[in-house]
Amino acid sequence: MRTWLVILGSIIAVIGAGLIVSLFFLSSGPVTTTQYSIDNPSVAPHSNWVQVISRSISTQSSVSISWATTGLANVSLTPAAPCSSPLGVCPTGPPVLNWTLVESGKGSGASSSVSQYLLKVMNPGDSPFRFSSVVSVNYNPGSPLPVWSLGLILLAGIILLAIGGIAVFLGLFLPGGVYEEPEEPSLGPFEPPPPEPPT
pLDDT of residue 88: 79
Mean pLDDT of 33-51: 92
Mean pLDDT of 155-161: 85
Q: Cα(138)–Cα(109) distance, rounded to whole angstroms?
A: 10
**How sure is the predictor about 187, in pLDDT bands with cuts at 50, 70 and 90?**
low
Q: Cα(15)–Cα(99) distance, rounded to whole angstroms?
A: 52
pLDDT of residue 154: 81
**How sure is the predictor about 127, in pLDDT bands with cuts at 50, 70 and 90?**
very high
**How sure is the predictor about 4, in pLDDT bands with cuts at 50, 70 and 90?**
confident
Summarised one tens digit per residue, pLDDT across range 67-83 is 999 999 999 999 888 88
**How sure is the predictor about 176, in pLDDT bands with cuts at 50, 70 and 90?**
low
- Domain coordinates in residue numbering, the chain: 3-27+145-173, 32-139
DSSP annotation string for the chain: --HHHHHHHHHHHHHHHHHHHHHHHHSS---EEEEEEEEEEEEPTTEEEEEEEEEEEEEEEEEEEEEEEEEEEEEEEEEEEE-SSTTSEEE-SS-SEEEEEEEEEEEEEEEEEEEEEEEEEEE-SSS-EEEEEEEEEEE----SS-HHHHHHHHHHHHHHHHHHHHHHHHHHHSPTTTTSPPPPPP--S--PPPPPPP-
Average pLDDT, the chain: 80
Angle between helices 3-26 and 147-173 (to 10 degrees): 160
Sign for the CA dihedral angle at 149, 151, 154, 160 comes to negative
Q: Cα(67)–Cα(75) distance, rounded to whole angstroms?
A: 9
CATH 2.60.120.680 matches 32-139: yes
pTM for this predicted structure: 0.57
Q: Is the pLDDT of residue 64 over 80?
A: yes
The answer to whether 130 and 43 have CB atoms below 8 angstroms apart is yes
pLDDT of residue 81: 82
Work out the percent of the chain whose per-residue pLDDT is above 70. 73
Mean pLDDT of 23-47: 80
Closest to 58 (Cα-Cα) out of 137, 167, 4: 137
Mean pLDDT of 153-171: 84
Mean pLDDT of 82-88: 74
